[in-house]
Chain A
């Protein structure tokens, strides 16, 4: 506490300023956690910082031990009580923040502040566990920079170093570490899956596709612009009309609501019965958290990233069959064939399931379907008749259909004739089932927006779609999209723009084109970030090493490569810097270290039009001349010359003066007066 006996006046002592630095770092490091942390932990932190600053600035008493000890115990219990655990990222972070607050309260010396800075680094690290976007990363890099400045300031006593020059020095120090960082990032052995597989957070408000469907209940389908996933094609993308992103399949119908079949049907063997044709389509999906464990792929996926825990379900849907909700972007590669036959043999029981309709529901639809099969047509004729019916009657595609009553399918088919994909998928499936064909509803997304800046597709919630799949004995499951009969352009260009006539008008009036472009550019940045930085996993690493001709490395070989490259990078950078310095000095380097530092100082001054030292001009006179030219830097110049005189001409066995001289010169960045 002796070091911080502070005046109350305007002039802050160096120690008080250092304390301000520390508090700024601590608060800054806690910032990314604000959204996730319990309010009381933040209040505790704010209170501790405020009290400690009041001690330093206004002479308040330090928090006595009988306050600190119970406070520590209580907050520990509070964390335990709130999170029921000390494990996991949220509880751990809360504990970290609490500990920082308590440490701050009792910090009395340089060492305490160093500890605080180090914990702050840990807090920054902890924020990467949950937040990995480019904005957070940028913020953290900036914060690390500021923290380095603070470390430089904390490492000494007396007045603070000039902030500007220290910032430049800190930036230089960080830049030196960049090559090593790149080597480690690229080569550090990657674990499959999320590296920090900590128990996740307990709250997740992610929204996504529902697992049931009740056309008729929704009278105004809000088109959410929220991104469902992004897809980047490594091969030529298929036409928009073939972009059916397959999701869950709804089999069970109760007359109003379609829902998923309860219980797994037959495991994975359906995959063996798929026959793929034509060109493969390879792409990478970056799936936003949707609160579900299912994933999306183009109809029909053939192979996919094995290390993501993805499996194909009995209804051809990809999903992760381990429990829990995903809270992070899932990133996987898939190869699909848009041309395929899913010739799954159905048992009689299954055919019964896929043709069942609830008793007494949709009598008029059943009657209609009955008229189509009186002549015993082939299944494909029945499908043509159903599609022909939708096409011939005045059906309308709209996002604001009227509400439907007790028999939603009948009312839709014969009265309102207005609806969106769910209405058509539901009605078509009912009609086909009534005609005796096994059919089901598939949910997913259709189309997507091409982000021309990053050349990948953004699939939004507004691209959600539902279609019908019908099983034909010779062809297997065939996709039949009722909407394609009614509003083919919806399928061809996607719902977002199709329905967005009104929105484009708004865009035009407000001239929001640039906004859209900016949004797309930002999305591209985000996507690249996720694709190449956050999503840099073992596969990408292997691909990258392969492209450099490094293949099939044993684990030890890989470590050897990593270590040697890290050493080479570090040594190389240092050597290059040394050579550059040597080249710049070109033999006019004085041998004496103090004289060398002073020569650096003189070079700085020469840049600002201070005439070089005359041969007989002593250092002090030179400094006086320089101070006259650069009055704002006079104090620094004086301090440097004093240090130089001590380092060069006075006994300095422990090289204290030399160290001071070097430090002062290293941060000396005079400005033109």
Chain B
């Protein structure tokens, strides 16, 4: 993993200067999770969507909300339940008697940052409504297409426990999330600080935008321009090949996942102020790229519950 104290970067780049306040602001709110925060920001910059899998109460919602506040994004939270309808997500056409016309009332998805809480509780129909919007970045209702705002960033959460009465997302749908992260319980000292300072909500409400929308969009454009050296393309390809050929996994990573991995690594390099993608950048994001995409096959040598990303990295040589 990156060792920020040792590696002297060539001074903070302009981009890093834009990103750092965001990370700092989030760090104040979500105590002790700098890595997850950075991954979330990288995911957003890479124009991906984020899946957070964790038990309730570790700050998933807070993270999403704080992200929206710090980045100055419009924010909407959708609680997914089994009776949620697509229209509850997308919006609904209502007949206006005055104008004798149907008028489309935009749903909560028309926000720059949408928190889809407990996405696996909703029916596949409602899920797919959101997932289509995520993929297309537009919504079609009654034959009219409405563009979603930019940036458009979905943070979905799912609860690993209490699987009864849930509708697990199929692999094809999971692939649409660039990353999946876990927040986990805070470290003892962080937890004590959390207890001492009380409610986070007030902090989130006080947080103002530390980066302009314009700058954010520029940063997103910049991600694709981060230099990727030839050997690292080989490295990504070797990782993809390993997931497919090693027999450790039920199914290997898709080409889309490979593109996503590269994108995420570029974003990570940008966040960390690197002049190009380093092997560390790929290694740093790989775990969150594969967490929701790979399943261990029976008879493989990787232990159940092991960190899949670490297992792959140990096996594929860095060029």
Contacts and interface: CB of A to CB of B under 8 A. Distances in A.
Contacts of B314: 614-616
A309 B6 CA distance: 72
Given A645-B278, A650-B275, A615 B316 contact: yes
B277 interface: yes
Interface stretch (A28-36, A579-587, A620-628): A620-628
A649 B7 contact: no
Interface in A378-437: none
Interface residues of A, number: 25
A648 interface: yes
Given A615-B317, A638-B8, A651-B227, 16 more contacts: A613-B318, A615-B314, A616-B318, A618-B278, A619-B280, A619-B318, A620-B280, A623-B6, A642-B7, A642-B8, A642-B9, A646-B275, A649-B231, A649-B232, A649-B277, A649-B278
A645 B316 contact: no
A627 B6 contact: yes
A530 B299 CA distance: 83
A651 B8 contact: no
Interface in A626-666: 627, 634, 637-639, 641-642, 645-646, 648-651
B228 to A, nearest CB: 8
A592 interface: yes
Contacts of A624: 3, 6
A617 interface: yes
B83 to A, nearest CB: 47
Given A634-B6, A645-B7, A650 B315 contact: no
Interface in A163-188: none
A645 B274 contact: yes
Contacts of A634: 6
Most A C-beta atoms less than 10 A away, residue of B8, B227, B279: B279
A279 to B, nearest CB: 80
A590 to B, nearest CB: 9
A211 B236 CA distance: 95
B168 to A, nearest CB: 31
B281 to A, nearest CB: 9
Given A616-B315, A620-B3, A641-B6, A649 B276 contact: yes
A498 B82 CA distance: 126
Majority secondary structure, A binding face = helix
Given A645-B7, A646-B10, A651-B276, A616 B227 contact: no
Contacts of B278: 618-620, 645, 649
Nearest to B239: A616
Contacts of A641: 6-7
A618 to B, nearest CB: 4
Interface string A559-602: 00000000000000000000000000000000010000000000
The 8 lowest CB-CB distance pairs between A and B, nearest first, are: A650-B276, A615-B317, A650-B275, A618-B279, A616-B313, A624-B3, A649-B229, A618-B280
B36 interface: no
Contacts of B7: 620, 623, 638, 641-642, 645
A592 B9 CA distance: 22
A619 B279 contact: yes
Contacts of B277: 649
Given A616-B314, A616-B317, A649 B279 contact: yes
Nearest to B316: A616
Nearest to A637: B6
Majority secondary structure, B binding face = loop
Contacts of B275: 646, 650-651
B230 to A, nearest CB: 9
Nearest to A626: B6
B48 to A, nearest CB: 22
15 contacts: A615-B314, A615-B317, A616-B316, A618-B278, A618-B279, A618-B318, A619-B278, A619-B279, A620-B280, A624-B3, A638-B8, A645-B278, A649-B231, A649-B232, A650-B229
Interface string B282-319: 01000000000000000000000000000001111110
Nearest to B9: A642
A488 to B, nearest CB: 86
Given A645-B274, A649-B279, A650-B229, A617 B3 contact: no
A650 B279 contact: no
Nearest to A638: B6
A135 to B, nearest CB: 47
B2 interface: yes
Contacts of A639: 8
A651 B231 CA distance: 13
Nearest to A648: B229
A521 B279 CA distance: 63
Most B C-beta atoms less than 10 A away, residue of A613, A614, A621: A621
B1 interface: yes
Nearest to B313: A616
A618 B274 CA distance: 15
Nearest to B310: A616
Nearest to B315: A616
Contacts of B280: 618-621
A614 B9 CA distance: 24
Nearest to A619: B279
Contacts of B6: 620, 623-624, 627, 634, 637-638, 641
B180 to A, nearest CB: 21
Contacts of B313: 616
Nearest to A628: B6
A650 B229 CA distance: 7
A649 B279 CA distance: 8
Contacts of B229: 648-650
A638 B3 CA distance: 10
Most A C-beta atoms less than 10 A away, residue of B1, B6, B274: B6
A487 to B, nearest CB: 84
Contacts of B9: 642
Contacts of A618: 278-280, 283, 318
Interface in B1-31: 1-3, 6-10
Given A620-B278, A621-B1, A648 B231 contact: yes
Given A649-B276, A651-B276, A621 B3 contact: yes
A345 B91 CA distance: 142
Given A645-B274, A649-B277, A617 B227 contact: no
A617 B280 CA distance: 9
Contacts of B315: 615-616
Most A C-beta atoms less than 10 A away, residue of B232, B275, B277, B314: B275
B308 to A, nearest CB: 13
